[in-house]
């Protein structure tokens, strides 16, 4: 009754914003993402005769809110398996990034936790290794975690209830072998704050309509290996996402000056004929999407601005390692 899983975080290409059901974490519209191979979360789950539930993340006990969000995953697994045992969870990220926001570690955390708990509870014997079901379980910790579960290029079908809100793989690295340059930046604004405030923007309903339309177009572009179209759509979606965030009731500005510096540099490179495109989630960190043969050149250009970078390729689905 013990298992360890490894999952990769993701870059949301078409991002979700706001939740219509906060308990099940069901969004207003579909979204699309790509997993990041260079980063990962490794989580061990053990059910047994313990005095109480225990969760340790990166060597520390989580705050009360995070603890209970993790337990929503564990409790769903208990419900499906009929287990009553207490749980011991130990989880760690590949990098300790401190206050960095927008690199999606909550997605890999949810995916690894759901997969390890699913295996430790023996649910693979009851349901098979069902990534659709695991994605539904992972969604309860963080919506984007459902996409991290299935890996590579994934679409989260928003749905209207637990059964219809899940992720499915829509493309592979063979379809589009994209390289990503990550520029990690910090923020004190929590993603939860942005999701709650987004729905107060006068542009939110328009955002839902355009995101759904963009999702269909980007799925086709991924399957055709069309980096230009994927990059353009992800850029537009990023600007729209932050536009909605900034026009909510609280007027949250998540950009940092460094974020704008990177975006401007990307546009300059594109003016020089380079196929490079920026993307951002609900954080100031920036992703730069390009071809692998431009990876070194782009990284050096961003480092020349005095910023740190990480390079990545398309990451796989969640996997059990022990």
CB atoms within 10 A of CB 247: 17
Query: Which residue is associated with the tokens 């992972």?
Result: 138
Question: What does the pLDDT read at residue 105?
Answer: 75
CB of 148 closer than 8 Å to CB of 32: no
CB atoms within 10 A of CB 74: 25
Q: What is the pLDDT of residues 70-105, one digit of tens each?
A: 999 999 999 999 999 999 999 998 876 554 555 667
Query: Which residue is associated with the tokens 């295996």?
Result: 119
Edge-first strand order for the sheet with 310-312 is 276-280, 286-290, 179-183, 310-312
Which sign, positive or negative, has the C-alpha torsion 154, 179, 181, 39?
positive
CA gap 213, 49 in Å, rounded: 50
Does pLDDT of 274 surpass 70? yes
User: What are the structural domain ranges in the chain?
Assistant: 2-173, 179-312
The length of the chain is 322
Q: What is the pLDDT of residues 238-250, one digit of tens each?
A: 999 999 999 999 9
Residues linked to residue 155 through DSSP beta bridges, in sequence order? 32, 168
CB of 55 closer than 8 Å to CB of 70: yes
Residue 288 tokens read as 């730069």
Q: What is the pLDDT of residues 214-266, one digit of tens each?
A: 999 999 999 999 999 999 999 999 999 999 999 999 999 999 999 999 999 99
Question: What does the pLDDT read at residue 101?
Answer: 53
Does pLDDT of 11 surpass 80? yes
CB of 183 closer than 8 Å to CB of 294: no
In a 3-state reduction of DSSP, which class is residue 305? coil
Q: What is the pLDDT of residues 122-144, one digit of tens each?
A: 999 999 999 999 999 999 999 99
Q: How confident is the model at residue 188 (pLDDT cuts 50, 70, 90)?
A: confident
Average pLDDT across the chain, whole number: 95
Least reliable range by pLDDT among 7-21, 97-111, 257-271: 97-111
2-173 with 179-312: one CATH topology?
Answer: no
In a 3-state reduction of DSSP, which class is residue 33? strand
CA gap 39, 103 in Å, rounded: 9
Which has the closest alpha carbon to 171: 209, 212, 227, 133?
227
Yes or no: is domain 2-173 CATH 3.40.50.2300? no
Which has the closest alpha carbon to 289: 301, 275, 302?
275
CA gap 4, 305 in Å, rounded: 40
Contacts of 171-175 with C-beta under 8 Å, sequence gap 24+, read: 171/219, 171/222, 171/223, 172/314, 173/313, 173/314, 175/222, 175/223, 175/224, 175/225
In a 3-state reduction of DSSP, which class is residue 9? coil
CA gap 140, 3 in Å, rounded: 20
Residue 105 tokens read as 């570690």
- pTM score, whole prediction: 0.94
We find that the CATH architecture of domain 179-312 is 2-Layer Sandwich (3.30)
């Amino acid at each position: 009754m013990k298992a360890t899983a490894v999952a990769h975080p993701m870059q949301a290409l078409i991002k979700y914003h706001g939740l219509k059901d906060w308990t099940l974490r069901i969004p207003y519209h579909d979204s699309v993402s790509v997993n990041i191979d260079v980063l990962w979360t490794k989580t061990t789950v053990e059910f047994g005769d313990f005095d109480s539930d225990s969760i340790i993340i990166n060597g520390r006990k989580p705050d009360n809110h995070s603890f209970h969000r993790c337990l929503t995953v564990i409790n769903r697994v208990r419900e499906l398996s009929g287990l009553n045992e207490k749980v011991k969870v130990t989880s760690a990220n590949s990098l300790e990034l401190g206050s960095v926001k927008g690199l999606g570690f909550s997605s890999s955390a949810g995916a690894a936790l759901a997969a390890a708990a699913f295996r430790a509870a023996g649910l693979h014997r009851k349901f098979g290794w069902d990534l659709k079901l695991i994605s539904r379980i992972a969604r309860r910790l963080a919506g984007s975690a459902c996409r991290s579960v299935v890996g590579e290029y994934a679409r989260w079908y928003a749905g209207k209830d637990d059964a219809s809100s899940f992720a499915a793989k829509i493309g592979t690295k063979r379809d589009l072998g994209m390289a990503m340059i990550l520029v990690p930046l910090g923020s004190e604004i929590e993603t939860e704050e942005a999701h709650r405030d987004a729905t107060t923007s006068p542009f939110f309903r328009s955002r839902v309509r355009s995101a759904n339309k963009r999702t269909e177009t980007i799925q086709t572009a991924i399957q055709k290996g069309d980096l230009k179209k994927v990059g353009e759509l992800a850029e537009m979606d990023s600007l729209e996402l932050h536009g909605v965030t900034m026009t909510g009731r609280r007027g949250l500005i998540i950009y940092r000056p460094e974020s704008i510096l990177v975006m401007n540099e990307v546009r300059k490179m594109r003016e020089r004929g380079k196929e490079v495109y920026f993307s951002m989630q609900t954080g100031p960190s920036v992703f730069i999407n390009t071809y692998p043969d431009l990876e070194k050149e782009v990284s050096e250009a961003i480092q020349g601005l005095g910023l740190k970078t990480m390079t990545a390729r398309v990451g796989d689905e969640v996997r059990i390692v022990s």
